[in-house]
Every structure is written in C-alpha cells, then in structure tokens.
Structure 1
Amino acid sequence: MKYTDIKNKIFNKRKGKIVFSDEIIIYETENEVEKIFQKTDWDTENIERKLNLYSGKLRKLFLDIFIDEFCFKKFEVQVAKDEVSEENLEKYIEYSAKEFLDEDNIENYFIKFFKKSDEIYIVFIFERDFIEEIVEFILRKNLKVNKIFIKDEEDYILDDYDILFQRKGDIKGKKQYIILGLIFILFFLGIKYYNSKLEREKEIVNREIILGEEKIEKLKAEYNMLEKEISVLKEKLEEFSKNKEYFNDKIFRILKMMPENITAENIYFEKNILTIKGNSLDENSLFEYSKILEKDSRIEKVVYDYIIKKENFYEFFLELKVQ
C-alpha cells in the first residue's frame, strides 16, 4: 500500500470532486476508481440549495472543484511586451474584457487570466455571484477543498481563493478568520477597482485638459496671426485712403476741369509733376483748358510740350507742376 493511501486512510481523506457544467455532478473515489455519487440539473438560482442536500456526504470528501466551459466565457488577447508593462497588464486585460463583453461596467463579473504563450493570454470570465456562492457554500459547510480548476483544453487553477480553503483542525474560530479574510480580500479588490477607475478617469480628464490646452494654444496662434493680418490690412486701407485722397486732390481735380472736347489718353504723375497726353477736337479748347489751369492757385506751371494737328483732331502733351 502506498504511503499516500495510508495517509489518506488515517486522516480519513476520501477523495471526491464536484463538476459544474450544464449539470452539477458529484464524484467520489473508492479504491482509486472514480464514480458518480450524484448528478443534478443546472439551476443558477438554486446551486447552494441543491448542494446542501448532499453536504453531509461532501464533508467526508477531500474535494477538487472543476468548472467547465458551460459556466464561463473566454477569449484570447495578444499583449506585446514593449507596449504593456507588468503593472498595467491587469488594466489592459480588464479593458479587453470590456470590449469582448461590449459592456462599460464589469463589476458583476469575476475575471481570471493566464499566460498561454509568449505574448498570448487566455482570459476567463465568470458571473461573480456564481463564484462567490460556491465559495460561501464551501466556507459555511466547512468543506475540505484542495483546488478549484477551470476546465478547458488544459486545466487552470483558480488560485485567488485557494488560501481560503487551507485548514488547520486544531485552530478554533478558523471559519470566522477565513470569512474575515474573504471580506478583506473583496474589500481590497473593491478599493483596487475603485482606485483603478479613478486613475482611468484621471487619465481621461488629463488627456482632455491637454487637448484643451493644445486647442487654446492653436486658437491663440490663429488669433495672433489674424491680428497681424488685420493690422497689415488696416495699414493698406489707410495707405489706400491716403492715395485716394491724394489722387482726388492732385490729379482728379485737374482732370475734372478738362473741357468736353478734350480726351486724356495717358496720364503720369511723379514728384508733383503731372503729364497728360491726349487729343482735342479743336485747338481753342486746349487754350481754354490752359487758362483754367493757370488760374488755379495750386498749379505753379502749365506748359504744352507740343500740339500736333492730325487729320480731324489735335494731339497734345501737357505738363503741369502742382503743389
């Protein structure tokens, strides 16, 4: 007889297991042969009630618990080492679970992940009430539990609650300590989740502040550029107004004095010298025009450089000095 078998007999460690799938199946092992002790239909709302019927038997067994794919959802996620640090891995997995479930709030889920290969993680998602109900039943009935396994292509150990099932028979009040420990763990997980939520919200706010500051700086730059453009346009407008006033005062006033028979074809103004090249239907109109100009106090000089008779008109070139 093996030492393990002797030890199990002495300490009355009869092996067994509970399998949660589309049914709840209780196995016990006798003489190294595993057989079904009880099988019952799945009922999420009455798991504890159904197990309670067999709690007397379960207390005699040293149990392993298996949870198969009927009780969880799973997905795989690739996590590049150079993109996600160890301290941010849990947050990244949680974010991936939200995307997988298409839910923003995952407080009602228990998430467990394992490294499958170098950059691939497999993620299991359970209903939190389901896991906690199993744990609470084990604690209340003082069952001897070895491990909780997630049954998939390979078995994964749900080790988060493993410490809750380690028992020492000579310690009184052990159950209360375990319950307190569970409460502490859940409280710690709640704080951790709340803190991580605050951190995420803080990151979002900081990102919005940075984007807002960038927009403000961009608007400031655009405002400064527009101010400069407006200033340049004002200068141009002022210069145009001056030029317009100057033209009206120096040039247009002289052209308005011109008799109807005279036409200006080309005018040029520089350094208060105005030259007008044009034609007239008769010579008298040109002399009349020169007399009008000579009477103007703001005109110092009136000289025709030439007057040439053409076929039916007179071509002239007039030079004026204006003040």
Structure 2
Amino acid sequence: MIPAERYEEYYKALLEKRTEYEGVFYVGVKTTGVFCRPTCPARKPKFENCEFYETAQQALLASYRPCQRCRPLSHPNHVSEIVRLLVEAVENNPEKRWKEQDFRDLSVDESTARRQFKKRFGMTFVEYARARRMGLALKNIRSGRTIIDTQLSTGYESSSGFRDAFSRIMGAAPTLLENSKVLKASWIDTRLGPMIAIGDENTIYLLEFVDRRGLEREVERLRQKTKSAIIPGITEPIQSIESELNEYFDGTLTVFTTPISLLGSPFQKSVWEQLTKIPPGETRSYSDIAVSLGKPTAFRAVAQANGANQLAIVIPCHRVINANGDLGGYGGGLTRKEWLLHHEKKKRLRH
C-alpha cells in the first residue's frame, strides 16, 4: 500500500485527471467498493473515502472491484473496438475515400469515430485515413509515378487541393520531396501512458511521452533537421523499441539495443553518451556528468543537453538529478521520473 504521506498528492492528481499518473497509482473508493485509474471520468470521491495502491492487484486483494467506467484492469489508453475496426478497414483499402454510407455499412457512428480517433491519435478518422492515402502517394512519387497520376489515384480531382493536403500532412509539397527522407510515426502504449516513436527503416529518432510539453515543436525540429516527411506507420526499429519497452516495464530488460540516431551538437552527444553509462537503479548529478566530460563548470550546459534529449528512457536522462538530491526536471513529468527511478532501483535490488 502507498504511504499515507503521498495521499494528498495522489488525490490532487485524481481530481485533475492527470495522465502522467497513469500506472503510478490506483484509488480504492470505500463508499462504492470499486477501484479506479487516476483519469477515471466518474464523480470524484471525498478524500477520506480514498485508499491508494501501487498496482491493480493490490486493490483487488483489498477487496475492491474494478470500476466499469475506467476499466483499470485493461491497458491504459486501450484501443476501442471502433478504432481497431476502422484502422483495419483503412489498411485493407488505404486508397478509399470514406463517405457516410461506408460508416453505416460497418455499423459505426461517424461522430463516435471522429471523437475516439481524436482522443487516441490527435486527429479525426478522416484525417487519419487521408494521412494513410498520402503515405501511399509519397511512395508512388518516390517510385517514379508522376504527380498527376498520384493525385488521381488518391482521389483528388484538383491539383491544388492535392498539394495543399499533401503539404499539410507531410510538411512539404510533393515536388520538394524527391530527395528527402521519410520517417514514420507510431503510437506505443506503456505502463506510464502512451509514447510516440518516430523512425525510418534503420533507426529511431524520437521517443517521447505523448503529453510531453512542447512535443509538437520537437517533432517539427526533427522534420527540419532531417529534411523529412513524417507519416503514420511502422518500421522494424519501431517494432523493436515497442518490444523492448514492454520488457523494460516488466523488469526484464535494462539495456536497449534498438538502433538510434542522435541529432545534436558534439557536446550534446557527449552528454547523452555519458547518460547511457549510468547503471539502472543509480543516479548522477549534472555536476557529476560535467566532471566526467572534463568540464566541471559546465553543469548548466549539461542540464540543457539533458533537456534536449529526444529519446526518453532509452537515453536515460531520468537518472540525472540535482546535486542536493532533488529530482530536478523531466520532460515527461516528475511523477514519471520518480516512478522510473524507483522501478529501476527495485529491479537492481532483486538481482
């Protein structure tokens, strides 16, 4: 059971439905006998009626039953049946232009599809399907097909409409993409909430929690630095990092082997290299990293490089803390940082 001194913090997170606490705690409600996630949409109980647990198993053992609204025994951000059905339909016919009748044929309410896709992917279903069509368009252009052929095959009668849609999704007009790279972005569910992974067929460039502040700017900087189009999709490195993250959160993996690409200055790369040398379950201060680089006064620059890391968990910036023992900052939120450190420390003590 969670120490009582954390109750007020967790109760505040419960009232605010804070996503960064997903997987960190569960709350048992004495008056109803149910237990919930931190983000449960149900009416909030009084503080004195709450008990907090680290795992769903602990709540079950305390005789609480799972809430029917937030379903704490399912995976956080679990894919709904409607989302799964529509994603599968898009993959079966990615060039399809969706109309009202198509939703009726699948017995899916169009407004429900819009809402669930917006919550899940940050875009409506129509935008998702359009992005998939555009991915095929890009593939056609790169394989030598003309712009006009590609425009017509993806269902755009107007060339200006095609170019506008292409630019909005890909970040560049089709004629400008002939010599550029293509990166694919995928959603990965984890114990601490969803992450986004971006990579090509060889490496991972970005791995961040979806609710990280400033993520949009990070993605845009990546696109500019690599001169790339970024589209929804899966690559072997993305599949690899998803598998390794599952093992990491299960406590069976401590070293990531998925190939990564580091985009930064020589100093930033030297800092990131030092981060990978910090053993799981241990921490270092910004000053410690500066000393290890032979630049003992550069601790502020180390902190900035630490914050510029775009590969959360894999490049373990969460293992760097203040010299006085305080956690310091973390792009994914201090609650996640504390959880990660505790998780790694428990793993180390068991071995």
Q: Common fold, TM-score beyond 0.5?
A: no
So what's the TM-score if we normalise by structure 2?
0.19
The answer to which structure has the higher strand fraction is: 1
Larger Rg: 1
